[in-house]
Structure 1
Amino acid sequence: MKKRLISTLLVAAMAVSLVACGGGDKKDAAKKSDSESKKSTNTDVLNINLASEPAHLDPALNSSVDGGCLAVNSFVGLYTYDKDGKLVPALSDGEPEISEDKTTYTFKLIKSKWSDGSELTAKDFAYSWNRAAAEATASDYSYLFDVIDKNDDGTLKVTADDDYTLTVQLASPCAYFLDLCAFPTFMPVPQASVEAADKDGSNPGAWAQEAGFVCNGAYTLDKWSHNESMVYVKNDNYYDAKNVTMKELHFMLSDDMTAVYAAYNSGDLDFIDEVPTDEIAKAKESDEFHVIDTLGTYYVAFNVNSEMFKDKTPEQAAKMREAMSLMIDRKYIVETVAQTDQKLANSFIPALVADGNGGKFKKDGYFDAEKTGADNAKEAIKLLEDCGYTFKDNGDGSYKISPALTVNYILNTMDSHQKIAEAIQQDLAVIGIDMKISSEDWNVFLEDRKQGKYDVAREGWLLDYDDPINMLEIFTTDSGNNDPQFGKDVKSWAPQNWDKYDELIKQIRVETDSDKRIDLMHQAEDMLMDTWAVVPLYEYNDMYMEKSNVSGDYANLFGMKYFMYTTKK
C-alpha cells in the first residue's frame, strides 16, 4: 500500500486527524515530565492528524495508507487484526471451513448491520468483491482477486449460499487468503448506495465522496470539511459497538508538519504520526515519542519510458539508473532526515518479510547500502561512460557531465520528502547531474505517477499482508500500482519482454510447492532489481507521538491504525 500522503491547508489551530499506533517501547532517557505536555480534557474525543485527505474513502478504490487507516475504522470485513497484531475473525463466525485441497472456503457470517440499520448479508460480500475486481471499477488493487477462480462470464466464484453463508472457490491454494479478508479492498460496500450515486457507471466512488455515507465499521463520517478536517462518530450498528470506547474521532487534514507539531504541543492534537525533521532529535527525548516496526520500503522509482533514456539501449538505460542509485547516500538520509534508526535497504523486499514457509525471504542484498554515496563516484561515472557520457574533473571532488543530464524528481508535499529529495539532488550533483524537484499535491502526485508523467518519483510501499508476492505483483503490467510503467506503452529503451515478469507472478500465484514458490519469487525480485527502476533507500518503521493520557489504540505491521478501543483519561 502506498505510504504517506497528501498535502492540505492547515486552517485552525484546533484540528483533528487519524493515525495512532500502539505497542512501541517508550524512550527511556531524558524524558520530559507530563506537566510539559499540554493535553485536551474532552475524554470522548480523540484528536488526530492524518497528514492528508485520501483520494478515495471507498475501500475498493483507496490505495494509500492514510486512506486504509480510515477504512479499517469505518468498515470491517470477514477478518480484522487485534491489539497484538493477530488476524482474528470479525464478521466471520469463527474460522471458515476449508476443503481438503485448500481451495474452497466456506464462511458462516455473524448477523450484522449497515450503519443505516439494514441487514448486511453474504450477498453484500459477493457483490463487493465482484465490483472491486471488475475492470469498470478501476481499483488499483483489482489484481488481488486473481487468487479467486472465475466463472465463464468472468465473475468471481464467490457464492452467497444463503444470507449468512459465503462460499469462495480459489484458483489454487493461497496461504494468505485470510489476510486478504482483513484488507480494505475486501471489505463490503452497500450496493444500493453505490448504484444510486453512480447510475451511469462513470464515477464508481461517488457514493463515498461526502459525509454521511453508509458503512459498517466502528465509526461513520459525520462531518467533512474537505482538505481541513473530518469528524467521525461512533456507529451504534457496528458488530462490536458495545466495546467501542471513543465516541468521536476528529481528524485534522494537513501535511504542514510545523503547524501540526505546534498543535500537538499546545494540546489541540492527541496523536501525530509525523514530526518536522528539525524537531525529531528533541522529540525523541519525550516519553510520548514512539517507534514501532512496519513491513515496507521507502524507495525511488524511475519511469522506464522517460525521455531521459531516449536513444539508449535497455541495458544502457539500466546502467544510468544504477549509476544514480550508487550516488545516493542512504546512510546520510537515515541519520539526518529519517532519524529513527531505519535499516538501510539493499533490496526491495524488507528483511522481516516471511517467505511463506516458516522462514524469512530475504537473501543477500543487491548492493552495499553502507557504501553508496560519493565514494561510488568513479563506479557511477564508469557506468555512465558506457552510456555515451563523458566527464571532466572539476578538481574539487565534483565532475562535469557531457552531454548535460537533467532529471525531474516529483514528490508529494511534506518536509521529510523534500529534505530527502534535496539530499539526492546534492548526491547527483557530484557527478554533474542536475536534478529538478517538483512538489505536488497528493492527488496530482498519485495521478502523475500512475500515468507516467514524471522522470523520477518518491515512492513507498507498506505490505498489505506478510508475503513477498505483495511487493512483486504491484509491478505487473496490468497493476494499478505499477508506477514505473513496466510493460506499458513500451519504448525501445524500456525493459523488454516484461510479459516474462507477468508470467512469473502468475506462476507464483498457483505454485503449491513452497520451495519452488520461494525460488520463483527470488527470480522475480532479481528481474525487478536488474532494471534499476526501483531503487530502495531504507526499510520503514513508524514513528508517532501520543499524549500520555491516551491508550488502547494499536497498529499492525502493515501500517493500519485502529482507534475504536482507545481510551483517554
Structure 2
Amino acid sequence: MNRLILSRRAFGAGVISTAALAALAACSSDTTSKGGDGIVTAYDTEPQNPLIPTNTNEVGGGRIIDLIFAGLYSYDAHGALVNEVAKDVTTQDSQTFTVTLNEGWTFSDGTPVTSDSFIKAWNYGALKSHAHLSSAFFEPIEGFSYDTDSELTGLKKVSDTEFTITLKAPQSDFLLSLGYSAFYPLPESAYADMEAFGQKPVGNGPYSLSSWTHNERCELVPNEKYSGPRKAANKGVSFVFYTTYESGYADLQSDSLDVIDAIPDSALATFKDDLGDRAINQPGAVIQCFTIDVGSEHFKMDEEGRLRRKALSLAIDRKKICDTLYYSTRTPASDFTSPVISGWSDKVPGNEVLTFDATAAKEAWAQAEAISPFTGSFSIAYNADGPHKTWVDAVCNSIKTVLGIEAAGNPYPTFKELRADVTAHTLTSGFRAGWQGDYPSMGNFLNMVYRTGAGSNDAQYSNPEFDALLDQAAQTADQTQATTLYQKAQTLLFADLPAIPLWYQNGFGGHSTKVSNVEFGWNSAPLYHAVTKD
C-alpha cells in the first residue's frame, strides 16, 4: 500500500519495475541459501528511488533506510520516542529546540556523526531544486521555502554535539516527528555524488547495506559501529523483492521466507489457520483511500466537483466490502487518520458521507448532472502487482450499481508506473492512495497529504481555512485543544473530499518456523532488528 501507501509512505505492493518473472522464480529458489546462518529473509518491493532518506517516502525503500540510518530518535513498538543519536532535546516554548547529541556516534565508514551531519542533510533535503519527496517535513523550520532554494536559517550549530532548531511558529508535535526518516543525518561523503551514494548509502543505523541487486533483493549486515537501542539480534536482513504477495506468502509457507507484512487477498480467510501463532493481525496506523485530482474535469473544487465526490463516497458499502473480502483485517473508515493515533474519533462532524446511502448518493449525483452532464466512465487506477484488484472491483461495482454509471478499475503493471502518473498529475479519474503514519500524530496524517503544496498531496488540494486550522493545532501546547482543531480541520475535508477514505488496515502478516521474536510496531512495520533466527 511507507510512507504514502508514506510512509508512512506511499504504500505500494509489488516490485517497482518490470522485472522478468524469471527473476521472481530466482527469488523463490535462493531465499533459503541467502537466509542461512542467522540471516532473516523478509518481503519487500524494489525501492522507487535511490536510498536517500529525504527522497524516500514509500514503503519499499522505507523498510531499508530505517535499518541503515539512525536519527535523533526512533520509535518503540507503541510509538513512543526512544533516544538514539540524541542525548537530549529540550524546549521551553515548542518553537526553539536545543539538541544535544550522544558522543562517539559514527557512520559505518567510521566518520563521526556531528551536528553538521544533521544540519547539512536537512538543508540538502529541503532545497526546492532537489525536489525531494519529504522536503515538506522541513516546512516548519525558519528559512524553508517552497518557492526558492533557501537555507534553513533556523538551524544553528553550537558545537559538534549541539545545535538548535528554531521553527517559524510553535509546533506541539515537532519533537514527535524527529524520529522520521526525513530527519536522518548524512556523512560528508554523500555530497560528492548523491545519486551514487543513494545506490550504496553509508548510514549510522543498526545495519549496513551489503548489496542491492535491483529488482531482486537487498542485503543488509549488522553495523558493528552502531551503539543505539536497536542492536541487531540476527546476522542480517535479506529483503527479497517480489512481484506479488501470493508469491511471497507461498515462500513464507514453505519456510523460504521468514517475515512478511502483507497477506494476499486469496489467503485472508485462511492465513490465521494456516500460520497459527505465527500469524499477526493487529490495529495499525494505515488508512486506505482513493483520490481524485481536483484539477480534473467534473471533479474540481466547485459545486459540481464536491457533489460528485460526495455521491461516489455515499455509493460505497464499506462495511459489506470489509466483511466479505477482508475477514477482520480492515475496518470501515470514519475519519482521515487512524484509530491507533491519539485524538482519533469516529464522531467527527461531516463523516456521514462515509456511510453507505444509495438514495443520498443518487440525489447528489443528479444535482451534479444538472450542473454539467458526466460522460464516459469513472475509473480507479491501481498497481496490479499489489493486492488491490479485488477491492477496486468491489468499490467500482458498488458505484456502478448505485449511480448507474460505468465504473471500472484501471490497472497499472507496477507501483512505480502508477506513481509516475500520479506525481505527474496525468490521471483525470480516481487512483488508489492511502497513508501509513510516519510518526504517531494526527498532524502527520493531515499535513503531509492535504496541506497546500505538501509532498504527498496528490489531489493538489488547497484550502486556506484548512491550512490555518492545521497551523493553529500545531502551535498549541494543549493536546486537547490541538485535537479539537484537527477534528475541525477534518470537517472541511469531509465537505471537500479531496480523497475518499475507505477503511483502516490492520497490521497483518506472519513469519516462518525458523524465526522468533517477530513483532510489528505501531505503524504495522516489522521490528526487523529484534527478529532472531537460529
**After TM superposition, is the score higher than 0.5?**
yes
Question: Judging changes above 3 Å, is the alpha-carbon distance between structure 1 residues 165 and 298 closer, same or farther for their aligned structure 2 residues?
Answer: same
Shift of 1:89: 0.5
Q: CA deviation at 1:270?
A: 0.8
Equivalent residue for 2:475, pick from 505, 510, 518: 510
Letter in 1 for 2:361: A
- Listed as ranges, the matches of 1:494-505 within 5 Å are 498-505=463-470
Equivalent position of 1:481 in the other structure: 456
- How far 1:547 sits from its partner (Å)? 1.8
8 Å CA contact retained: 2:284, 2:507: yes
Partner of 1:437: 409
Q: 1:47 aligns with which of 37, 41, 65?
A: 41
**Which residue of the other structure, out of 143, 160, 164, is the alignment partner of 1:163?**
160
Change (3 A) 1:389 1:486: same
1:525 is aligned to 2:490 = yes
8 A Cα contact 1:60 1:186, kept in partner: yes
> What does residue 8 of structure 2 align with?
none
Measured after TM superposition, the shift of residue 59 of structure 1 is 1.0
Give unmatched runs, 5+ long, in structure 2.
6-10
Deviation sequence 1:344-382 (CA, Å, 0-9, x none) = 112212333213xxxx4553463458951xxx3332221
Equivalent of residue 27 in structure 2, options 4, 15, 37? 15
Q: Given residue 447 of structure 1, which amino acid in structure 2 is its aligned partner?
A: A
| Match runs of 1:283-302 below 5 Å | 283-285=271-273, 286-287=275-276, 288-302=278-292
Q: How far did 1:538 drift?
A: 0.8
**Cα distance in 2, alignment partners of residues 100 and 500 from structure 1:** 25
Q: Does 1:418 find its partner at 2:389?
A: yes
- Please, which of 432, 439, 450 is the counterpart of residue 465 of structure 1? 439
Cα distance in 1 between the residues matched to 2:342 and 2:230: 36
| 1:189 matched to 2:186 | yes
Identity of aligned residues (%): 23
Does residue 133 (structure 1) correspond to residue 106 (structure 2)? The answer is no
CA RMSD of aligned residues (A): 2.9
Matches within 5 A, 1:16-165: 42-83=36-77, 85-93=79-87, 95-99=88-92, 103-150=96-143, 154-165=151-162
- Please tell me whether Structure 1 or Structure 2 has the larger radius of gyration of its CA atoms: 1
Distance 1:56 1:561, change over 3 A: farther
Paired residues, what number?
A: 509
User: Aligned partner of 2:456: which letter?
Assistant: N
Q: Deviations over 1:227-260 (max 9, x none)?
A: 1111112222222499422222111111312222
What whole-Å deviation, never above 9, does each CA across 1:509-537 have from its counterpart, x for those lacking one?
33445555334322321111111232111
CA offset digits 1:254-280 (Å, max 9, x no partner): 131222222222221011122221222
1:406 is aligned to 2:374: no
**Does the CA-based 8 Å contact 1:40-1:268 persist in structure 2?**
no
Distance 1:156 1:553 in 2: 42
Mapping for residues 110-509 of structure 1, pairs under 5 Å: 110-150=103-143, 154-193=151-190, 195-198=191-194, 206-210=195-199, 212-240=200-228, 243-285=231-273, 286-287=275-276, 288-309=278-299, 314-355=302-343, 360=344, 363-364=347-348, 366-368=350-352, 372=356, 376-388=357-369, 404-430=375-401, 431-440=403-412, 441-454=414-427, 455-473=429-447, 474-487=449-462, 498-509=463-474
Q: What letter matches 1:387 in structure 2?
A: A
Asked if structure 2 preserves the Cα contact closer than 8 Å seen for 1:77 and 1:181, the reply is: yes
Gaps of 5+ in 1: 17-37, 199-205, 391-400, 488-497
Higher mean C-alpha displacement, 55-64 vs 41-50: 41-50
Q: Give the structure with the higher percent helix.
A: 2
Scaled by the length of structure 1, the TM-score of the pair is 0.82
Name the TM-score, length of structure 2 as normaliser. 0.87
CA 268–515 in structure 1, closer or farther in 2 if over 3 Å, else same: closer
Q: Report how far residue 68 of structure 1 moved.
A: 2.0
Instruction: For 2:479 and 2:254, locate their aligned partners in 1 and report how far apart those are by CA, in whole Å.
Output: 53
Conserved in 2, the CA contact under 8 Å of 1:55 and 1:443? Answer: no
Moved more, 134-143 or 110-119: 134-143
Once the 2 structures are TM-superposed, how far is the Cα of residue 562 of structure 1 from its aligned partner?
Answer: 2.8
Q: How has the CA–CA distance of structure 1 residues 314 and 461 changed in structure 2, closer, same or farther, with 3 Å as cutoff?
A: same
